[in-house]
Amino acid sequence: METYKYPKSQELFQKSAKVVPSGIYGHLGPGEGCFMPIDAYPLYAEKAKGSYFWDIDGNKFIDYMCAYGPNVLGYNDPDVDNAFKEQLKKGNCISLASARLPELAELLVDTIDSADWAFFAKNGGDVTAMAALTAKAATGRSKMLMLHGGYHGVAPWMQQIDYSGIAKEDVANNLYADFGNFSQIKRIVYENKGQIAGLISTPYHHPALADNMLPPEGYWQKVRDLCTQEGIVLIVDDVRCGFRLDVHGSDHRYGFNADLLTYCKALANGYNISALVGRESLQDAAASVFYTGSYWLSAAPMAAAIACITKMREMDLAKVCLEKGKKITDGLVEVAANNGFHLKVTGEPSMWFMRTTGYEDIEDPNNMLHQAFIGECVRRGVFLANHHNLFINASLTDKDIEQTLEVADEAYRVIRKDVKNILGKGF
């Protein structure tokens, strides 16, 4: 099987590094993006369609990162793109809100079980911050309870004290517990009685660089009851897995009701819009918060979101993604086993995390075999990351899955020849 080369990507990156911080900054960059080994990855895309993208060297990839989540129907979905273009002809960013604003809000309220109203912004971090502000406005309290390893955006209060640019004052009102450990959460709540405005958490634990964790039986209902008892606003960050688990809300999938939920990635199939939805009892608090942006009421992304949500509802997107995810993850585990490797899959099949934990009786605590395996897959046209959740989109076909498993089989056969050397040298 032919392996890809990336001379144009490397040449362009050298130019970019002179005029752009880090060359490519943020989670798409080769450093922060954990592209290891770096030479296995392309750095710049040329175009995308359905489940695929092509890099600037002309290499075609089956994409399981899905732009880190936004591609949920398939790149360049015609219905979503046409809705965006038609609204763009009429107007997008204008001095007044468009009629798309209440139209999209009504659709979300009709779709998400816990939603009585909706507020819109641009990025996931915009609405997780708005959720915290709403909780503080509603309760008059200052502290937020978060879960270790949870990611809610890049505002200073969402980061860690040892991160560059973060002062201790930025995170002074944060409290931390372990996901799934209700007794620990309960203890922290009682130790800070009457001071916690909100508890924010993803519906299941999906940190980077670590196995994912589904909520233990009864966990969420106990958290829900505790928050109700203590007047704490329960916030579910559904930015990453929203709609892929349940179009009615991930809280609905796990059998409880959140007070606030945040959405972004799959909301408009790649167009830049995010949403905070919540219970009627918090609507006045949300209205009291001054939090806005010049582009937050842009009409064209709202039109795209209306088309995307409508289509996700019609196709029962969560069912489609979960079934496809189960097929690919079961297949990958089998391919690994056939080659003597142990592949551990955690999380939900529509947004799974995986790591190669060892070969035969040799363990790999440092993730070196998995980095090598993922690198060989990418070189053969299957785009994955070794540190992050992987995503299913509705356009993925059985043929794509079959090709993915063939590539995975060859990738494991390649690294099987060099296991001890990989474990010994690193990258």
Decide if pLDDT at 259 tops 50: yes
Decide if pLDDT at 160 tops 90: no
Tokens of 90: 């009429």
Per-residue model confidence (pLDDT) at position 30: 84
Decide if pLDDT at 406 tops 90: yes
Region of residue 291 (phi > 0: left; psi between -120 and 50: alpha; otherwise: beta)? beta
Q: What is the pLDDT of residues 108-136, one digit of tens each?
A: 999 999 999 999 999 999 999 999 999 99
Can you tell me the mean pLDDT for 348-369?
95
pLDDT, mean over the chain: 96
Q: What is the pLDDT of residues 380-391, one digit of tens each?
A: 999 999 999 999
Q: What is the pLDDT of residues 177-201, one digit of tens each?
A: 999 999 999 999 999 999 999 999 9
Q: What is the pLDDT of residues 273-295, one digit of tens each?
A: 999 999 999 999 999 999 999 99
Q: What is the pLDDT of residues 74-101, one digit of tens each?
A: 999 999 999 999 999 999 999 999 999 9
In the β-sheet with 52-55, what is the strand arrangement from edge to edge?
Answer: 45-49, 52-55, 60-63, 382-383
Tokens of 298: 């842009």
Per-residue model confidence (pLDDT) at position 33: 67
Decide if pLDDT at 426 tops 60: no
The helix/strand/coil state of 75 is strand
The end-to-end CA distance of the chain, in Å, is 23
Per-residue model confidence (pLDDT) at position 37: 86
Q: What is the pLDDT of residues 10-45, one digit of tens each?
A: 999 999 999 999 999 988 888 776 778 889 999 999
Distance CA 202, CA 261 (A): 10
Percent of the chain with pLDDT over 90: 93
Cβ atoms of 116 and 109 closer than 8 Å:
yes
Per-residue model confidence (pLDDT) at position 427: 41
Tokens of 49: 């369609």
Per-residue model confidence (pLDDT) at position 42: 96
pTM: 0.96
ω into residue 21 within 30 of 0, thus cis?
A: no
Q: What is the pLDDT of residues 48-75, one digit of tens each?
A: 999 999 999 999 999 999 999 999 999 9
Decide if pLDDT at 425 tops 80: no
